[in-house]
A = this chain, B = another copy of it.
Amino acid sequence: MRHFEERLDELRSRLLEMSGLVEFAIYRSVHAVVDKDEDLARQVLENEAQVNQLEIEIDDMAVRLLALEQPVAIDLRLITAAIKINNDLERMGDLAVSIAERALSLMHEPVVNAQIDIPYMARLVESMVRKSLDSFVKRDSELARNVLFSDDAVDSLRNGIYKEMVRFMEENPRSIPPALNLIFVARSLERIADHATNIAEDVLFLVDGVDVRHHAEAHH
């Protein structure tokens, strides 16, 4: 059996591979909506199985490390954080799949004016995802705190899109189905941001030992 440190490194690197796949899926799904690019949407659907497979592998790897190695406190905290981050990444991957499915439904619909805020919201959410993973890799609590601050901005962007969509639907009842699809895209982006926030909270707990879980929720 290989050395514990070596296996911990492998766990970390598999988790980075997972985050790369998921970030790419989010990026593709959003561009499938914005640029009406059917190929990008299909690529997200095709890669879902790979993300799911990797989640199971990482989970098994982490549980085996816990079982066989009897890790000390600090490594234990790292491994349990890895289990949670892996779970958040998998859920982000599912949300990218939802967005890609909405993109396919929207493929032949005219572009809605309210849609213009979606790329902006998507860029903010993508940067939160990136920063949350970077904060884990670099054990950087400043960067993790930065993610927590962005969460409110995402919520108000989502509310803006929501209100604009309601107005649009009221004025154009025939466009209700595509407008609903865009509302769900904004909703999925908001939930991706929530998962990035979860990861940032896990990093703060890992690095500083500060438990900030559920604090952010008071705003909702």
* Residue ranges of A at the interface with B (Cβ–Cβ < 8 Å): 48-49, 52, 55-56, 63, 66-67, 70-71, 73, 76, 80, 83-84, 87, 94, 97, 166, 169-171, 173-174, 176-177, 180, 183, 211, 213-214, 217, 220
Contact = CB atoms under 8 A, between A and B. Distances in A.
Nearest to A80: B63
A174 B180 contact: no
A174 B183 CA distance: 18
A18 to B, nearest CB: 14
Contact of A76 (B49, B67, B213): B67
Given A213-B52, A214-B52, A214-B56, A63 B83 contact: no
Contacts of A97: 220
Determine the main DSSP class of A at the interface with B: helix
A52 B214 CA distance: 7
Please indicate which of the listed interface residues A55, A73, A170, A211 has the most CB atoms of chain B within 10 Å of its own CB: A170
A76 B64 CA distance: 10
A191 to B, nearest CB: 10
A180 B167 CA distance: 12
B66 A213 contact: no
A177 B173 contact: no
A211 to B, nearest CB: 7
Contacts of A94: 217
A108 to B, nearest CB: 18
Contacts of A166: 176-177, 180
